[in-house]
Amino acid sequence: MVDFGQRFQTIIEKLKASDHKITPQRLAIAKILAESKGHPSVETIYEQLKNDYPTMSLATVYRNVMLIKSLGEVLELGFPVGSNRYDGNKPYPHPHVICIRCRKIIDPDLTTLQDMTKEVVHKTNFTVLTHQLTFFGICGACKKEERPTETKMKSA
Amino acid sequence: MVDFGQRFQTIIEKLKASDHKITPQRLAIAKILAESKGHPSVETIYEQLKNDYPTMSLATVYRNVMLIKSLGEVLELGFPVGSNRYDGNKPYPHPHVICIRCRKIIDPDLTTLQDMTKEVVHKTNFTVLTHQLTFFGICGACKKEERPTETKMKSA
DNA sequence: TTTGCTGCAAATAGTTTGCAGAGAC
DNA sequence: GTCTCTGCAAACTATTTGCAGCAAA
């Protein structure tokens, strides 16, 4: 993971540079985004903050995530099901692999991504600006759990 | 594009095989999905049909697209912005390239996709079940339009 | 002091659901 | 005749917006 403190500083600097006020709520949201453990959703961020900031509202979370996204400092994963998820730790487009059982999301480094982008550009004549690559499947841990007592049984 | 008539027949057969009644509305929706020109949205399908079927409702379109999707005969593209889009002509997962200017969607054949999937499996120990790969950019036609009279001018 | 920000509530967009009557088989 | 399907309206989820008061700079 990218250094949290550095990401946080970058976000705050961008906010100041674009003449945005640094409110406690904004600071707290930026902090969570900079860390982005588990690719949080707006709902998740809100839940984490409403104890420390009892008046915090979902609208404020939405507005600030949007603002920081508009500064290019958070990546919207763009999931269609349920609420959107965000990554402020690695704000540039990158692939995700999601376990459909435990909902875990991991960010693999794919060396083949560059080749694929080249192939897209070559075959379509597009100027590629960004992408969303997501693989869905079952992670190693869930595969084990799946057959906890199985030894030599044939599947029915 | 895959043969339209064949896709249509496959969908109808699957519907019958799963004991679903063949209503005129269902038939019409299946027809549009089998063709899937331009990767239609539920809204688009509804708009196309409401002239021929004045009582057609959005709910019916939603229900039937969902049904045919549950039979594995339509692919939900899974776009986060605006309404979802569907492809009943190629119902298996495949990459998309979208022009952010004219909204055109094309389906490139990417030979590198197989390598990428292998790399994901190797690096993550996931069993990959499906994927969503979307590239966003500017298509060739829109790139031309962008600078209609430009000849030897430096960009400002 | 000025201007932007927050919190609340209401509005919106996309989608889903309950129910009564219509229609496929 | 039976049982699923449709159409309508209402419900629901995620997100956005209007506005009045609050607070950062």
Q: How do residues B98-136 score in pLDDT, each as one tens digit?
A: 998 888 899 999 999 999 999 999 999 999 999 999 999
Q: Residue closest to D23, CA→C1'?
A: A23
Q: At what angle do helices B24-35 and B4-17 cross, to 10 degrees?
A: 140
Query: Does the distance separating the beta carbons of A116 and B137 come in below 8 Å?
Result: no
Strand partners, B75: B87
Element holding B127 (H helix, E strand)? strand B127-138
How far is it, in rounded angstroms, from Cα A47 to Cα B131?
Answer: 30
Give me the residue from A100, A108, A130 closest to B120, CB to CB: A108
- Output the pLDDT for position B101: 87
Domains, chain A: 1-89 (1.10.10.10), 93-156 (3.30.1490.190)
Candidates A131, A138, A43; CA nearest to A97 is: A138
How far is it, in rounded angstroms, from Cα B92 to Cα B47?
Answer: 25
Cα–Cα distances (Å) from B58 to B33, B54, B80, in that order, read 15, 12, 20
Rounded-to-5 percentages of helix, strand, coil across chain A: 45, 15, 40
pLDDT digits (tens, 9 = 90+) for A103-136: 899 999 999 999 999 999 999 999 999 999 999 9
Contact assessment for residue B37 and residue B76, using Cβ atoms and an 8 Å cutoff:
no
How far is it, in rounded angstroms, from Cα A152 to Cα A142?
Answer: 19
Angle (CA) B73-A116-B121 rounded to 5° is 70
Q: From the alpha carbon of B22, which nucleotide's C1' atom is closest? A: C24
Of all residues in chain A, the one with the smallest CA distance to B99 is A126
Instruction: Write out the E strands in chain A.
Output: 75-76, 86-87, 96-99, 105-106, 127-138
- Output the pLDDT for position A152: 43
Show pLDDT as tens, one digit a residue, over chain A (156 residues).
Answer: 778 899 999 999 999 999 999 999 999 999 999 999 889 999 999 999 999 999 999 999 999 999 999 999 999 998 766 779 999 999 999 999 999 888 899 999 999 999 999 999 999 999 999 999 999 999 999 998 866 554 444 443
- Kindly give the parts of chain B with pLDDT less than 70: 80-81, 147-156
- Output the pLDDT for position A4: 87
Element holding B97 (H helix, E strand)? strand B96-99
Angle (CA) A23-A25-A30 rounded to 5° is 95
* Minimal CA separation from B112 to chain A, in Å: 6
Give me the residue from A84, A110, A119 closest to B80, CB to CB: A84
Give me the residue from B99, B112, B113 closest to A126, CB to CB: B99
Determine which of B75, B83, B105, B120 to mutate to test the interface with A (most A C-beta atoms within 10 Å): B120
Distance spanning both ends of chain B, measured CA to CA: 43
- Output the pLDDT for position B149: 54
Query: Does the distance separating the beta carbons of A138 and B127 come in below 8 Å?
Result: yes
Residues 5-64 of B with CB under 7 A from strand D: 19-21, 23, 25-26, 53, 55-57, 59-60, 63-64
